């Protein structure tokens, strides 16, 4: 299996100083996607032996990753954030899992929180209420020691089969560029499930990650525009991927969560109400993408709630 590692830098040369040495020596080609950086990204990448893919203008996370996927080879693509530091054997463990099952879209590692002996993520899950969550966030580092099925992989680090990415793409987009950043990996995982692909959690593949948006970070410390985008993107994701059977089967959970989300916005964080307007503004593009997703789906109801054993 030929793997390409994609590491996106948005003026993150300081993070690359730790990320690249840990991954470059593990065998696959490492490509740094230089998102029109003005810092030392180029110098660090060249010094560490990574190849550069330079973008002429600053793009959103989703658009930059799409450009990286389109501009690189490899049977498998490891999407790796610059704030992730992989342990030895990380790539090999993920490749073994992906190579063992041709219907596996993604091999998902165990991410530990940087500076703490706690789990950052053991994959992601979309609940029956259609809420996208990190699996195991905040659990002791030794938890989630067994592999198993998982709804999908976190955007910080996941090894994807290129054939699956191409199969799930809507036109030229692997990640939905209207969503820009938050929940793009949950959206991709949902589309993969609809196409009949599966994902597996691989606890032997370990990396440390600095997460800037998570349940363990106080909401007041998160940028308001990011909170609003995250709220909007969940609505877009559901509108695009939901199936009639899935909605019928889980209607009580879906309605309960939507009422709770609206109530929270009304009572606690009224700035989030603008996310409904933002999602409405994207309705035409969402409908176009939905038409493609639904026309090609093979599964009537994905395994909502699927997560590895703790």
Helix (H, G, I), strand (E, B) or coil at 49: coil
DSSP alpha helix (H) spans, 61-109: 61-70, 90-99
Q: What is the pTM of this model?
A: 0.95
User: What's the pLDDT score for residue 224?
Assistant: 84
Delimiting residues of CATH 3.90.550.10 domain(s) in the chain:
3-209
Residue 143, pLDDT above cutoff 80: yes
pLDDT recorded at residue 212: 64
pLDDT in tens, 54-106: 999 999 999 999 999 999 998 999 999 999 999 999 999 999 999 999 999 99
pLDDT in tens, 179-236: 999 999 999 999 999 999 999 999 999 999 987 655 555 455 567 888 999 999 999 9
Question: Over the chain, what is the mean pLDDT?
Answer: 94
Instruction: Calculate mean pLDDT across residues 283-300.
Output: 97
**Whole-number CA gyration radius for the chain:** 19
Q: What is the 3-state secondary structure (H, E, C) of 241-281?
A: HCCHHHHHHHHHHHHHHHHHHHHHHHHCCHHHHHHHHHHHH
For residue range 229-238, list pLDDT tens digits in order. Answer: 999 999 999 9
**pLDDT tens for residues 243-260?**
999 999 999 999 999 999
**Which residues have C-beta within 8 Å of that of residue 181, sequence separation ≥ 6?**
60, 61, 62, 226, 229, 233
Query: CA-to-CA distance for 116 and 139, rounded, in angstroms?
Result: 11
pLDDT tier, 1 (very low <50, low <70, confident <90, very high otherwise): confident
pLDDT band per the 50, 70, 90 thresholds, residue 27: confident
Rounded Cα distance between 197 and 103, Å, is 6
- pLDDT tens for 262-282 read 999 999 999 999 999 999 999
Tokens of 37: 């950086």
CATH superfamily of the 3-209 domain = Spore Coat Polysaccharide Biosynthesis Protein SpsA; Chain A (3.90.550.10)
Q: Are 81 and 61 in contact (CB under 8 A)?
A: no
Residue 131 has pLDDT above 80, yes or no: yes
SS3 assignment, position 202: strand
Q: Is residue 42 predicted with pLDDT exceeding 80?
A: yes
Eight-class DSSP state of 55:
E
Q: Look at residue 216 in the predicted model and tell me its pLDDT.
A: 53
């Amino acid at each position: 299996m030929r793997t390409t590692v994609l590491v996106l830098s948005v003026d993150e040369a300081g993070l690359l100083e730790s990320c690249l040495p840990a991954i470059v020596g593990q065998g696959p080609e490492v490509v740094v996607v230089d998102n029109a950086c003005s810092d030392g990204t180029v110098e660090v990448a060249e010094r560490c032996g990574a190849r550069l893919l330079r973008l002429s203008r600053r793009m959103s996370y989703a658009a930059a990753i799409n450009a990286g996927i389109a501009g690189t080879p490899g049977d498998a693509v490891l999407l790796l954030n610059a704030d992730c530091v992989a342990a030895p054997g990380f790539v090999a463990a993920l490749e073994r899992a992906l190579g063992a099952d041709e219907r596996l879209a993604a091999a998902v590692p165990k991410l530990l929180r940087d500076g703490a002996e706690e789990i950052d993520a053991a994959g992601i899950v979309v609940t029956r209420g259609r809420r996208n969550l990190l699996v195991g966030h905040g659990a002791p580092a030794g938890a989630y020691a067994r592999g198993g099925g998982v709804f999908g992989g976190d955007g910080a680090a996941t090894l994807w089969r290129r054939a699956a990415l191409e199969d799930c793409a809507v036109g030229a987009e692997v990640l939905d560029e209207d969503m820009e950043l938050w929940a793009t990996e949950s959206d991709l995982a949902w589309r993969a499930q609809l196409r009949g692909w599966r994902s597996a959690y691989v606890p032997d593949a370990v990396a440390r990650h600095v997460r800037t948006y998570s349940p363990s970070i106080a909401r007041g410390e998160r940028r308001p525009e990011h909170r609003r985008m995250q709220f909007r993107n969940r609505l877009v994701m559901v509108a695009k991927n939901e199936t009639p059977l899935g909605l019928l089967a889980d209607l009580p959970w879906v309605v309960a969560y939507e009422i709770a989300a609206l109530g929270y916005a009304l009572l606690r964080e009224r700035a989030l109400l603008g996310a409904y307007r933002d999602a409405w503004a994207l309705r035409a593009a969402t409908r176009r993408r939905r038409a493609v997703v639904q026309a090609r789906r093979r599964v009537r109801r994905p395994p909502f709630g699927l997560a590895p054993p703790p």
